[in-house]
Amino acid sequence: MISDTAAYRERVTLSSNAVFEATLGGVSLMDVAVILGPIGAEPVGASPSTFAIEYKTEDIKPGHRDNVGGKITLDGQLKFITDTLHPVLTGKDKGGLKMIKVSTQAFK
């Protein structure tokens, strides 16, 4: 099991129907992410959010890179997302996902 926290820096309170999702994925194959752990979706609450993802050890391949990512949606619209790789299962994990706000201006 992988457990960690995820935070966003903006000082906003999200409504109770905002959802945080974390995924564990293998990224060693050319541009194809393989989801290794189920998506953990939970109400956001206060930042930082804590999460835990269970995975099967036999799905973890020696020499492959595995990462955790996170996002927050509100009414199905993306509000925050991780924009950098967060390697896990390497023994050098730094922990703590940092999410950035998604600009709605880019979609208009």
- CATH of residue 72's domain is 2.60.40.2990
> Is a pLDDT exceeding 50 seen at residue 92?
yes
pLDDT recorded at residue 95: 62
Unique residue bearing structure tokens 């706000």 = 101
Comparing 7 with 108, the larger pLDDT belongs to 7
40 confidence band (pLDDT: 50, 70, 90): low
Task: Indicate whether 106 pLDDT > 50.
Answer: no
**What is the model's pLDDT at position 98?**
63
The range of the structural domain enclosing residue 39 comes to 2-107
Count of structural domains within the chain: 1
**64 in Cβ contact with 28 (< 8 Å):** yes
Count of CB atoms within 10 A of residue 55's CB? 17
Average pLDDT (24-53) is 68
Decide if pLDDT at 22 tops 80.
Answer: yes
User: What are 11's two structure tokens?
Assistant: 């000082």
Question: What would the pLDDT profile of 43-61 be if each residue is shown by its tens digit?
Answer: 676 677 778 888 777 777 7
Please tell me whether the overall predicted TM-score, pTM, comes out greater than 0.85 for this model. Answer: no
Contacts of 79 (CB under 8 A, 6+ apart): 14, 18, 72, 73, 101, 102
| C-alpha–C-alpha distance, residues 101 and 17, integer Å | 17
